Structure 1
Amino acid sequence: MSILPRYCLLFLFFVSQCLCSTLGLAETLPLVSPSEVGLDGDALVGIEAIVEEGIENKKMPGCVVCVGRHGKIAYLEAFGNKQVEPSQVSMTTDTVFDMASITKPVATATSVMKLVEQGKIRLGAKVVEYFPEFAPNGKDDITVKDLLIHQSGLIPDNSLKDYLDGPELAWQRICDLGLVAPVGTTFKYSDVNFIVLAKLVEKVSGKDINEFSQENLFTPLGMSESGYLPRAELQSRAAPTEERDGAWMQGQVHDPRAHALGGVAGHAGLFSTAQDLAIYAQMMLQDGSYSTSEDQTVRVLSPLTVATMTRGYAVSSGVRGLGWDKKTGYSSNRGDLLTEAAFGHGGFTGTVLWIDPELDLFFIFLSNRVHPTGSGSVNHLAGSIVNLVAGAITDVESTSQAAAGKSNLVETLTGLDVLQRDQFSQLAGQRVGLITNHTGRNRSGESIVQLFHKAEQVNLAALFSPEHGFEGKLDVERIGDAADATTGLTIHSLYGETRKPTEAMVKDLDVLVFDIQDIGTRFYTYISTMGEAMRAASEYGKRFVVLDRPNPINGVQTAGPMLDAGYESFVGFHHLPVRHGMTIGEIAQMLKSELELDVDLQVIGCEQWNRQDYWEATNLTWVNPSPNMRSLVQALLYPGVGLLEMTNVSVGRGTDTPFEVLGAPWIRGQELAQALNSNSIPGVVFVPIEFRPESSKYEGELCSGVNILITDRDAVDPLRIGIELACQLRHAYPEEWETKNLNRLLGNRVVTDAIIAGTGVEQVMTLAAEGLESFEARRRTFLLYPLDAEGN
C-alpha cells in the first residue's frame, strides 16, 4: 500500500485551506507535526503496522486514522482501499463514511442537549410529556435520561418487519412496544432508544433530526461534509458498505431500520469525514465552542451542557455518558490508557470516536469494515491504536500537573469558614449555644469552640454534643454530660438523658448554632440531633443557625428506599431516602418547611462547592465523623452495607475496615464472594476474607465473609451493594440469617418483605426506587447549590 509522504499531506492540506477560504467554508483544524502537541512521532509510526495487519487479516479493506491534541491535528493518514468490489479504489483522507451509531451521540444526543439548555426538554421528564402516543404498555415512566443512558427497559431492536409498511406504521408499532426490563434498572443498549429520541427532537422543535442537527450543529461549525442524506458529490467520495437489492450502498445508510425510515433516524444515518469529525471533537474539548485561527468563535453548547453530557452515569453494567459510552461492555475500542474523563462511541460499520478532556486528545478511526461481505471486525484493533497513541504522549506529566494545579485552585469554604471570614458578624451581640463535635473545624484545622472562644464578637454560652460525644470517640448506648477544658463550659449531651435540648439548657441563649459533618445517609444520627434541636428552638423561641458542610459522597445521587410514614425514629428522623443527596443545611431548610417549625433559621452556606463533587474535590481535611467512619470509601459504602448491621452479621465494627467487610461465623466467604461476583455488580468486586472483630458483634470470633473493593467509583451504587448482599444472604442462609431487625434501618416494609420473600434483586431495586422521583421534586425547593443541567 502507498502512503502519501508527510510533505504531500501538508501541501494538500494547505490547498484545502485555501479552497475552504475561497468557498466561504469554516476552517478545519491545522495539521502539525506530532511533537508540536506533545506526541512522539516515532511512536505514532507504529500505527501503520497495526493497520496493515488488520487489512491483511481482512478486518477491514482500509481506514482513515486521525489524532488531535491541543486544538491541532497531529496525525491524519489513509490506509488501504475504500472499495474492493466491484473494483478497487484507494482510501483517501477525505473519504465520506457512514457513521452508524456515532450518529447517536454526535447528532441525536447533541440535539437533545441543545434543547435541554434551551429549556425545551428536561432530562428527568417523562417522554410522554412531549410524546403522549409513546405511553402504552408501561412506557409512561420512561424519562429522557433513561433513553440517553440505555436504561429505558426497551428492546434493543424491534423486528425489521415493523418498518416495512412505511414510517407512519413503523411509529405506531414502536409506540405499541412493551418493556423487556423494569424502567431505569437495566442497561440494554438499544437502537430504539435513539429512534425515539430523534422523534422527541422533532416533536419539541418542529424539525426532524436532519434539519435540527444541520441548523444547530453542523452548519454553525462549518461541518459541510456532515449530515444525513449526503449530496451527490459526497456520495461519490463515500466508502461503500454492502449490497442492497443488487446495488452497492455508497452514500446510502447501511442500517436497515434507518433506511426504512427514509435515511433519517436517531440511531444511524449520519455521514461525515475525519476532518469534519475532528471539528466536532475539538468543540467538545473546548466546552462547546469552536475557534478558528482568525479568532472567530462559534458556540453550539454551553460548558455546563457539555459537562453534564459527558460525566459518568452509573448503569447496571458500567458507566455511560448522555449518549456516550464511557466504560461498558461496548468499550473495547477505547483501549486501556485513556483517563476516566474520556467519552466516546463506536459504529457498526467500523467507526470509532474517543475524546479525552484530561489529555486534551481526540482519536478518530473510520473504516467500512462491513465491505464487502459484512465480516470485518475493528474494535480491538482500534483499541490497540488508542493505546499506542496514549503511550506516545510525551507531556503527560505536565498535563497531570496542570490538571492538579487546576483542581487546587478550588478550595471549598465551609459555613464556618464563611462565618469566620465575615468576622462572625451573623452572631454579634447574641448569646450562643453551640451544637458540635470534633468535626466542627475550619479549613486550617482550628476547632470551632476555640474560634468562638477567642472571637470578641461571639458570646459562647453553652455547648452541646451528639452521638459519639464531643470528641467523636465514644461508641456506647448513652453518653453523659462533660466539661470542656478550653472554655470551662458544661457540654450538654444530646445522646443521654435527652436527645433534645431542654428549656433549662437554652433559656439563657439567643441562638443555637449547629456545625457537625454529615455523611449523606438517612440513618446517620447527626440529622436527628439537628432536627430535635430545631424543634427545641421552635418551642422556646430561639434563632437557629446551621453552618453548612459538603455532602462527602456528592449532592446529586439519591437512592431509596424511602422511609415509611409513621416509622420515624432517631435513625430515621424524616421522610428521606437512604441516600438523600443533600447537605445538612439543605435538610434543615426541608425540616423547617415540612415539619412546620416556627423557627428563625439561617443557613450559612459553603462556597466553591459543586454538588457533583466527592470529598476529595474540596481539598478539605478528612476527619473521621464517628469512630467507625474512617474514610471516604467507607462513607460511600455505608448507605448499602450499613443497612444490614442490625441483623446478625458483622459489618466490620471492631476491625480496621468497618463497612468494607461483611461476615459472620456461619457465612462461607468463598461461596458468598463467588455468588456476588457472578452478578457483575458495577464498580465493585468481592474478595473472600476471614476476620476477627476486636469489639462489637462477634467480638473475638472468627468470621468468614467478603471484603468489598471499589474498582470504579463512578459506577458504584451503594444501595445495590446492600440489596445484593441481603438477597444473597437470604438465598444462601435462610435459616442462619436473622431478619427480624432488617427493617430497622431500611425503614420500608415493602422492600424488607420482598427481601425476606426471596424476591430477585432487580425487583427489589425497583421497589426501593418508588418515591424517589417525588422526593427529588421535593428537595429542589430546598437546595442551596446549583443543580447541573439534568435538574436532579
Structure 2
Amino acid sequence: MTASAALLLAGLLAACPAPGALPSAPAEDLGFDASKLAEVTEAVSSAVAEGQVPGAVVVVGRRGRIALAEAIGLRAVEPEAEPMTRDSVFDMASLTKPVATATSVMILWERGLIDLDEPITTYLPEFASNGKEAITVEMLLRHRAGLIPDNPIGDYEHGVEEAWRRLADIDLVGPPGDRFRYSDVGFLILGRLVERVSGQPLDEFAREHVFTPLGMADTTFLPLDRGIDPSRIAPTERDGDSFFRGVVHDPRSRALGGVAGHAGLFATADDLAIYAQTLLDGGVGSNGTRILAPPTVRAMIDPDDTPEGERRGLGWDLATGYSAPRGDRFGPRSFGHTGFTGTSIWIDPDTETFVILLTSRLHPGGDKPSPTALRRRVASLVASAIVDTPLPAPEPAAPADVLCGIDVLEAEGFAPLQGKRVGLVTNHTGKTRDGRATIDVLFEAPGVELAALFSPEHGIRGLLDVSTIGDSRDEKTGLPIYSLYGERRKPSPEQLEGLDALVFDIADIGARFYTYISTMGLVLEAAAEEGLPVLVLDRPNPIGGVAVSGPVRDEDAQSFIAFHRLPVRHGMTIGELAGMFNAERGIDADLTVVPCRGWRRSMTFDQTGLLWTNPSPNMRSLTEAMLYPGVGLLEATNLATGRGTDTPFERVGAPWIDPRRWASELNAEGLGGVRFVPIRFSPTERQYEGEECGGVFIIITDWDEFDPIELGITLAVTLRRLYPDDWKPEALNRLMANRAAFEAIVSGADARAVRRTWARELREFLDVRAKYLIYED
C-alpha cells in the first residue's frame, strides 16, 4: 500500500474506542459548538498533510464523556505505511513524570510514607553531597531543586548501578528552591524515591496503584513485556536497521532498563482520557475506584507561591514556557504536560474539559520539530468551541421534592412502630415538612404509644446554652423528658425500661463537633445494650453531602465533641452516620434508617424547600452553618467567634487584633469563594464580653468555591504568623482532635502544609464512608 493510499484509508477508518474507555456523547450535549469543535480535526489533518507530523490521535472530553476522538494520518511511515488508529500506543516521554511518577509519589504521601517538605536525603541518603541535602521532595516535583536538566549520557555507559552512583554525586547548578529549572534528573530521583519507599519498582507500583485500578489497560512501562501488540505501538526514530517500537525513545531511561521516573511510560489516548477525568473528579476513576483523595488532587495542581512564568504544581505545568498545550483561552487553573515524542495533555477544571494530542512526530527520522504550534492551536479551538461556560448552576429541588424521615414514616402509616411503646430522642428541629413537631405527630399517631422523651444539648426546645440540663416534663403531652446533657449523656436502663423501640429525630449541622451526632451514637449503644430497636428518621445535611474535608479525629481523641473518627466536615446525613457508627464501632444495634425522599447529595438546605429552624441558639442561618466547621475549630482558643452578636460565626476577633492588618493578610491568601472585611465589635457574652474587638467579617462570595475548613486553617495560620504572642492556640486541639495538624499550626506551617497532615487519613475515611452512603448526587 502506498503512503497516500494508507493516509486516505486512515481518514476513512472508524475510530473505535477500547473497552473501558469513557463513553462518547454528541458535542452539543457536552456544551460544545459542534461546527467549531470540528475545526480541531481540520487543524490536525492540515498539520499531517503539511508534513508537520505523520499522524496523530486527538481526544477531547468534557464532563466525563468524549466529544471528539479522531485518528488522523499514519502511525508508521516506514518500512511500510500504517494508518493511525485510535487504539495506537504511544511513547509518552515526559508525560511519565506527572501520570506515573508524581501520582505515585502523592499516593505514598497520602499514606504518610513521604513528607513533601523533607529533604530527599531522608529517603535517599546516598544523595547527601554537593549541597543536595537542601533539596526537598516538593522542590523535585516543582522542578525547583537546582539540578541540571540532563546529566551526560556517558554516565550511563557502565551499567545501572554506576549510573545511579554518578547521579548521586551530581553537582547543583543553582541553589535549591531559587527558581524553575526543568529537570529530567529530578524526576529520575523521584522514581528512585518511589522504589525505595514502596519497596517496588516504579512500573509495578504505578501499575498496581494507578493504572490497573482505573482500568487503564494499555498503559504500562515495557509494553513488549506486558503483552501489548507491537503493531499497535507508534514507532519513533530509527534504531539501526529498524525503529524503536515498544522500546523507550529516551536514551537514559533505556539505559536504566526502560523504567525511569522521567520517561518510559506508554499509553493510548483513551487511557489518558480516563486519567484526566479521574483528576477532574477529585481522584475517583470512571469505574468508581478512588486512587487519590480530593485534597491530594488539589495539591498536585496548586502552584503555591511559584512566581509568574514559573507556575508549576506537584508534577504538573500551569504557566511556564512549556505551556503551549493550554492555548490562548483556557484559564489560569488549567494544567497539563508535554512529552518529547510529540505527546501532550491539558486539563481545565473550570470548564471540566481535557484535550489530549498524541503525535508520531519523531518517526521516521526524528527531524521534525516539536508540534508546539499545533498543541496551542488545538487547545485554543477546543476552548473557543465551549458555548455554555460559565457552567450552569444546578437546578434546586422543587419545594415539594424533599421529605424528611418523619414525613416518610407518617406517609407509610408508622408501620415500623405499630403496637409499640416508644421513646423519642428529639428537640425543636424534629418537625414535619409542614412544621408539626415530631413529638406531637408520634403522640397522636394511631397504633403508637409515645411514652418518653429524651433531649440533647440545648434542651427539648433548643433554647438553652448551658453546661448542664436537668430532666423535666413536656407541658403539652405530660411526658417525662430525660436530659442527655446533664448527669448522664446516655439513656439509662431504668429510663428505657418498658419501651419497645427508640426513635431519633434531630437535625445535624454537618460538623464533627456538633454534639447531636454524639448523642445519637450513645443512644445506639444504650439501645443495643437493652435489646431495643432504633429508628433514625433521616434529615438532609444542611451544608451538603458532597464535600468532605478537614482533619480526621485521632484514634485516642474520643470525646463528646469527637465521638467517632470523622473529619471535621463529614458530608453525611445523620442516618448515614448512624449506619457507620453502628457497624464501624461494633455497636450492632437493631437499626433502621428511614431515608429522606427527594434529597440529593449536592443539595444545601436552601435547595430543599424545608423551613429553617435554628438547630442551636447561635446557629441562626445557613451561612453560619456553612462557616461553622471552620470558625468553630478556633472556638476553644482566645478568640471571640461572634457569639453574643447578631451574626455568630460570621465575625471573628479579639481586642489585640488590628482588623485592617488581619483582613489584608487573609484576603492576600486568595481563598476561593470568601472575602474578609475589617470590623470592630463588642460581644455581649462569653469571651471578651463587653470589650471592643478588632477582627474580620467573613463574606461567602461563591458557595461552590468556598471551603470552610480551608477558612478555619487559614484563620489559624495567619493568627500564628501575625500574633504569635497574643493568640493562644493551646486549646485548639480540643476541637481539631488531630495532633499532627495542631502541631503543624503551632510550628508556624502554612495552610498547605497543615492540610497535608491529614490527607492520608481523609482518603481512608472516604473509602469507609462510601459503604454507608444512602443518597446519590
Partner of 1:668: 658
C-alpha distance in 2, partners of 1:660/1:507?
A: 45
Partner of 1:641: 631
Partner of 1:459: 449
Q: If the length of structure 2 is used for normalisation, what is the TM-score?
A: 0.63
Of residues 414, 419, 432 in structure 1, which corresponds to 2:422?
A: 432
The alignment partner of 1:628 has SS state of coil
**Contact 1:352–1:365 (8 Å) recurs in 2:** yes
The alignment partner of 2:318 has SS state of coil
C-alpha distance in 2, partners of 1:379/1:106?
A: 19
Matching of residues 307-318 of structure 1 within 5 Å: 308=290, 312-314=294-296, 317=299
Matching of residues 185-334 of structure 1 within 5 Å: 257-265=252-260, 268-270=263-265, 277=269, 281=273, 305=287, 308=290, 312-314=294-296, 317=299, 330=318
Of residues 377, 383, 386 in structure 2, which corresponds to 1:387?
A: 383
Matched AA of 1:16? L
Mapped pair 1:765 → 2:754: yes
Q: If the length of structure 1 is used for normalisation, what is the TM-score?
A: 0.62
Distance 1:14 1:762, change over 3 A: closer
Distance 1:709 1:265, change over 3 A: farther
Deviations 1:384-419 (A, max 9, x none): 44431213x6xx89x969x859x9999787654664
Deviation, 1:579, is: 5.0
**Contact 1:202–1:208 (8 Å) recurs in 2:** no
Deviation, 1:305, is: 2.7
C-alpha distance in 2, partners of 1:279/1:479?
A: 60
C-alpha distance in 1, partners of 2:647/2:751?
A: 29
Distance 1:462 1:264, change over 3 A: same
Distance 1:389 1:703, change over 3 A: farther
Partner of 1:705: 695
Partner of 1:515: 505
Mapped pair 1:346 → 2:337: yes
The alignment partner of 1:363 has SS state of strand
Partner of 2:676: 687
Identity %: 36
Larger deviation, residues 641-650 vs 442-451: 442-451
Matched AA of 1:643? L
C-alpha distance in 2, partners of 1:208/1:568?
A: 36
Partner of 2:772: 784
- What RMSD, in angstroms, separates the aligned Cα atoms of the two structures? 7.0
Partner of 1:295: none
Distance 1:308 1:219, change over 3 A: closer
C-alpha distance in 1, partners of 2:18/2:585?
A: 62
**Contact 1:201–1:209 (8 Å) recurs in 2:** no
Matched AA of 1:523? F
The alignment partner of 2:287 has SS state of helix
The alignment partner of 2:652 has SS state of strand
Deviation, 1:689, is: 2.4
The alignment partner of 2:649 has SS state of coil
**Contact 2:535–2:594 (8 Å) recurs in 1:** no
Matched AA of 1:347? T
Distance 1:582 1:76, change over 3 A: closer
Of residues 643, 650, 654 in structure 1, which corresponds to 2:640?
A: 650
Partner of 1:468: 458
**Contact 2:420–2:448 (8 Å) recurs in 1:** yes
Deviation, 1:438, is: 3.5
Number of corresponding residues? 691
Deviation, 1:647, is: 2.7
Deviation, 1:642, is: 1.0
Of residues 355, 358, 361 in structure 2, which corresponds to 1:363?
A: 355
Distance 1:169 1:684, change over 3 A: farther
Matching of residues 9-28 of structure 1 within 5 Å: 15-17=12-14
**Contact 1:687–1:709 (8 Å) recurs in 2:** yes
Deviation, 1:170, is: 6.6
Matched AA of 1:258? S
**Contact 2:502–2:532 (8 Å) recurs in 1:** yes
Distance 1:616 1:280, change over 3 A: farther
C-alpha distance in 2, partners of 1:775/1:74?
A: 36
**Contact 1:437–1:472 (8 Å) recurs in 2:** yes
Deviations 1:160-185 (A, max 9, x none): 559835456778999999xx99xxxx
C-alpha distance in 2, partners of 1:590/1:286?
A: 26
Partner of 2:719: 729
C-alpha distance in 1, partners of 2:346/2:509?
A: 35
Deviation, 1:667, is: 1.2
Distance 1:257 1:512, change over 3 A: farther
C-alpha distance in 2, partners of 1:77/1:782?
A: 42
**Contact 1:689–1:707 (8 Å) recurs in 2:** yes
C-alpha distance in 1, partners of 2:504/2:92?
A: 56
Deviations 1:644-664 (A, max 9, x none): 123332223355654344223
C-alpha distance in 2, partners of 1:430/1:719?
A: 43
The alignment partner of 1:730 has SS state of helix
Deviation, 1:125, is: 6.6
Give the unaligned 5+ runs of structure 2: 78-83, 115-119, 125-135, 171-175, 178-185, 303-311
Distance 1:715 1:767, change over 3 A: same
**Contact 1:723–1:764 (8 Å) recurs in 2:** no
C-alpha distance in 1, partners of 2:710/2:444?
A: 47
Distance 1:65 1:579, change over 3 A: closer
C-alpha distance in 2, partners of 1:266/1:379?
A: 24
Deviation, 1:124, is: 7.3
**Contact 2:93–2:263 (8 Å) recurs in 1:** yes
C-alpha distance in 2, partners of 1:13/1:31?
A: 20
Partner of 1:560: 551
Matched AA of 1:387? A
Partner of 2:307: none
C-alpha distance in 2, partners of 1:31/1:504?
A: 62
The alignment partner of 2:676 has SS state of strand
Deviation, 1:528, is: 3.6
C-alpha distance in 1, partners of 2:269/2:497?
A: 70
Deviations 1:199-221 (A, max 9, x none): 989879989969x989975669x
C-alpha distance in 1, partners of 2:68/2:510?
A: 45
Deviation, 1:486, is: 6.4
C-alpha distance in 2, partners of 1:337/1:11?
A: 33
C-alpha distance in 2, partners of 1:351/1:495?
A: 63
**Contact 2:299–2:313 (8 Å) recurs in 1:** no
Matched AA of 1:261? L
**Contact 2:276–2:354 (8 Å) recurs in 1:** no
Larger deviation, residues 433-442 vs 346-355: 346-355
